[in-house]
Amino acid sequence: MSGELANWPRHLAPEAHSEDYVFCHLKQGAYGALASCSPLASILEDDGLSLILPQAEADREGLSYRGVFCCLSLRVYSSLEGVGLTAAIATELAHHNISANMIAGTRHDHILVPKADKERALAALKTLSARHLPEDEGS
């Protein structure tokens, strides 16, 4: 690893959100739909609006979803133009057979993993960070 990426893995500092999240799709949705909800993210797609919502909000609104996810936020500052961080994380989680749905914020990255894999994902990311610590910091 070279450049900025060399420093990213050792400072990931993953933190798990306390809420469970689900992916929902509104076929006729547009931004502003479900204004009473607080989505983690929304994506306007050709065929509707995708929302990542707290499970409790989706249940309250009667929305359908498949799977429940945990959001892991990386406390490292990451540039939107940086190369390799997403690939390194996805590769590490794939080695542990953990699905990773990445979302880039303007300052931090967020990973949605199946709720059942939360602890294994946190451990894998902490291991990835530890592997990149200089020897004098790792002991």
CB atoms within 10 A of CB 21: 26
User: 109-114 and 101-104 as β-strands: parallel, antiparallel, unpaired?
Assistant: antiparallel
Asked if 42 and 49 count as a contact pair (C-beta separation under 8 A), the reply is: yes
Global confidence as pTM: 0.82
The CATH number given to whatever domain includes residue 68 is: 3.30.2130.10
For residue 36, what pLDDT is reported? Answer: 87
Q: What is the DSSP letter of 109?
A: E
**Number of independent structural domains in the chain:** 1
**For every one of its 139 residues, what pLDDT tens digit does the chain have, with 9 covering 90 and above?**
444 444 555 578 889 999 999 999 998 866 666 888 999 999 989 998 999 999 999 999 999 999 999 999 987 766 666 667 788 899 999 999 999 999 988 888 899 999 999 999 999 999 888 876 555 444 4
3-state secondary structure of 23: strand
How far apart (Å, rounded) are the C-alpha atoms in residues 94 and 76?
Answer: 21
Asked if 47 and 27 count as a contact pair (C-beta separation under 8 A), the reply is: yes
State which H helix or E strand residue 51 sits in: strand 48-54
Q: Whole domain around residue 14: which residue ranges?
A: 3-138
Name which of 64, 44, 43, 62 is nearest 52 in CA terms: 43
